Amino acid sequence: MKKIALFSALTALALSCSKNPFTGKNNLNFVSNSELFPSSFQQYGQFLKENKVITGTADAKRVTDVGIKIKTAAEKWLKANGYDQYLEGYQWEYKLVDSKDVNAWCMPGGKIVVYTGILPITQNEAGLATVMGHEVSHALANHGAQRMSAAQLQQIGAAGVAVAAGTKSEQTQQILMQAYGIGSTVGVMLPFSRSHESEADQIGLTLMAIAGYNPQEAITFWQRMSAKSGGQAPPEFMSTHPSDATRIANIKKMIPQAKAEAAKFGVTFK
């Protein structure tokens, strides 16, 4: 029965890849937006009830204004590339939340939160556009659904190891399962997450450029972020995010493409 279940799961895997317009890649995705968005919206609403949302301030207005510009840039790009219906079901919201955490995030379906703790580092609209463009890009590239799908696949792999080790001693089974857990996390899941970060950087740079923000400003933002962290981060191979140095180097390489995309919409930079 385990072998049958494993075969069924692998068959589902083969049928669960779809091309993402922003990345051009065929992405693993077991979860549809119609399944994911209602849960995302409910969790977002619950979060807002349990935290202090800042309204009526210049910072709150800036978050909304930048968010709308990024959303509009995404709509322009999608329409120009023949994906008019891609954002169907999205319900955009942009909220500034009182927190010392240096963070921002976007849930599937366009639900965005920026923490006040990151504003001293963003400093200006371009810095905020760097952050919000990046976070929105995670949602546009369906990274949340992909991570959920990858976690399911990791469980399928664990089931396969369990089947293969079924005739071994209990101690050998434990060793094999532990090795699989470490190997699949360090060798697959963490690089998978780091690739998502790089994809979100590239898409985010393009969106902020189309929205009228010079993508060159992303470098200075990440330099400020690096200075804030003081280099206190785990080794890159043990992290879900690339190191600051790697990210900045990659962004420098991505900027010409972002500017070229923006130029298609009549937006140019000196």
Residues identified as active-site: 135
Could you tell me if residue 230 is left (phi over 0), alpha (psi between -120 and 50 degrees) or otherwise beta? left
Phi, psi of 105 (to 5 degrees): -155, 160
Could you tell me if residue 106 is left (phi over 0), alpha (psi between -120 and 50 degrees) or otherwise beta? beta
Matching residue, tokens 């396969």: 160
122 DSSP assignment: H
> Quick one: which H or E segment has residue 61?
helix 58-80
Do 36 and 108 touch, CB atoms closer than 8 A? yes
The set of residues, in sequence order, having a beta carbon less than 8 Å from that of 110 and lying 6+ positions away, is 71, 87, 90, 91, 92, 93, 136, 139
Strand order across the beta sheet in which 93-97 lies: 53-54, 93-97, 111-115, 104-107
SS3 assignment, position 96: strand
Using alpha carbons, list the distances in angstroms from residue 154 to 1, 8, 17, 147. 19, 15, 16, 10
